[in-house]
Amino acid sequence: MAAKSPSAGTVEVLRQRDGHHAKVTFEELFFDLVYVFAVTQISHELLHNLTLKGLLETLVLWFAVWLGWQYTCWVTNWLNPETPRVRGLLFVTMLLALVMASSLPQAFGSRGLVFAVAYVCMQVGRTALVLWMLPRSSALRQNYARMLGWLVISAGFWIAGGLAEHEWRIVLWIVAALCEYVSPMWGFALPGLGRSSTRDWTIEGAHLAERCQLFVIVALGETLLASGAMFADGEWNTAVISALLATFLGTLALWWLYFGTASKDATELIVKSSDPGRVGAYFHYIHAVLVAGIIGSAVANDLIMAHPHEAMKPAYAAVLVGGPAVYLLGSAIYKNVVYGRIPLSHVLGAAVLLVLVPLSFGLDLLTTGWLTTLVLLAVAWWDLRPKR
């Protein structure tokens, strides 16, 4: 039997495009379990650090979590996770992501360098190995060369931030996160290497859409976990039962606004697009905002369940009202990509939530929670009318 040529051995790692929807593999679902833990860590970090500084720190850490998942998601769209080399790459990335997620509570403390090193090894190492595995004839090689260049640049800022004191650490890490989040918008442009075109990003659209949808499910699961854990540990009185109902219905409204209206249409859009790479990039930019809104809502659920009769404070308002408002605005942008128009219901809903901020300071957390839930349910009902 003739031996395989090196190029043939390399080509096999690529997903085979046969016109059918590329399935999400068990390897990818297993990988996502680390991000269930990471989302929980992010929400708990914000819950225990509800200050303006804490909000900024959590936002930086959230972008690191999202970018680590996002870049891996594109890899498993192009490369087949069921081949030994890609599977091994995914599992090593998973271990590094686990170390990164475990470092989150002390990322701005004693474990800043551990966090930075784990994250950099994940981002740079995975990209370098993908570049090595890709066949020389693949249009993705130049894309990954440019991507690797930007990740090496951002790695310098992540490591420098891990070594720096707190004030400099947050500045350096903001720059690092922006390098990775913004560079795809310009095709990873670098001197001497040019820039990538989204038309070269030959993604399988339905697979990418499904991966984003699964991450939304992970984040929504955190909101249910927040309510369920507090309900299990607390005294079952009228206030706590009312809080459980308010938080559950709010989570249900968040689910409906995503899965009940646009998710199938979004999948169809990216599948039929003449430039699916561009639409896929939009999806990833927007889902960072959408999931951030869900995480804020999960923290709000924790507060409502734990302290239903406590008076409103500015920090509480940031998550009780800000979380749903960010989600509605992210959803509005998402539906603008899908349908070509911004839904008026979402804009009005976000405006009503902002009006609630000054009014809420005369109310307790439970009452405010019910008001934000009613706004979300009203927006969901408005979106339901055309379906009916």
Q: Looking at residue 386, what is its pLDDT? A: 54
pLDDT digits (tens, 9 = 90+) for 194-225: 888 777 777 787 888 889 999 999 999 988 98
* Overall average pLDDT of the 71-94 stretch: 92
* Overall average pLDDT of the 156-174 stretch: 94
Q: What is the 3-state secondary structure (H, E, C) of 133-160?
A: HCCCCCCHHHHHHHHHHHHHHHHHHHHH
Distance CA 10, CA 30 (A): 24
pLDDT digits (tens, 9 = 90+) for 98-108: 999 999 999 99
Residue with the bigger pLDDT between 275 and 157: it is: 157
Computed over every residue of the chain, the mean pLDDT equals: 88
pLDDT digits (tens, 9 = 90+) for 325-353: 999 999 999 999 888 889 999 999 999 99
Residue type, 55: L
**Residue 303's closest CA among 358, 250, 238, 364?**
364
Q: Are 83 and 13 in contact (CB under 8 A)?
A: yes
Distance CA 299, CA 268 (A): 33
pLDDT digits (tens, 9 = 90+) for 215-254: 999 999 988 988 888 888 878 889 889 999 999 999 999 9
pLDDT digits (tens, 9 = 90+) for 125-148: 999 999 998 888 777 888 899 999
* Overall average pLDDT of the 296-322 stretch: 91
Distance CA 140, CA 245 (A): 49
Q: Looking at residue 5, what is its pLDDT? A: 40
Residue 85: pLDDT band with limits 50, 70, 90: very high
Q: Looking at residue 18, what is its pLDDT? A: 54
Q: Does position 359 have pLDDT exceeding 50, yes or no?
A: yes
Q: Does position 4 have pLDDT exceeding 80, yes or no?
A: no
Distance CA 93, CA 168 (A): 28
pLDDT digits (tens, 9 = 90+) for 179-190: 999 988 888 888
What is the residue extent of each domain of the chain? 24-200, 205-387
DSSP type of residue 202: -
Residue with the bigger pLDDT between 140 and 365: it is: 365
| CB neighbours of residue 196 within 10 Å | 24
Q: Looking at residue 274, what is its pLDDT? A: 79
pLDDT digits (tens, 9 = 90+) for 33-70: 999 999 999 999 999 999 989 999 999 999 999 999 99
Helix, strand, coil in percent for the chain, rounding step 5: 80, 0, 20
Tokens of 329: 């605005």
Q: Looking at residue 17, what is its pLDDT? A: 63
Residue 10: pLDDT band with limits 50, 70, 90: very low
Q: Looking at residue 105, what is its pLDDT? A: 94
Q: Does position 266 have pLDDT exceeding 90, yes or no?
A: no
Tokens of 105: 């509570």
Q: Does position 19 have pLDDT exceeding 60, yes or no?
A: no
User: CA neighbours within 13 Å on the CB side: how many for 326?
Assistant: 21
Q: Does position 113 have pLDDT exceeding 70, yes or no?
A: yes
CA-only gyration radius of the chain, Å: 22
3-state secondary structure of 363: coil
Q: Does position 385 have pLDDT exceeding 70, yes or no?
A: no
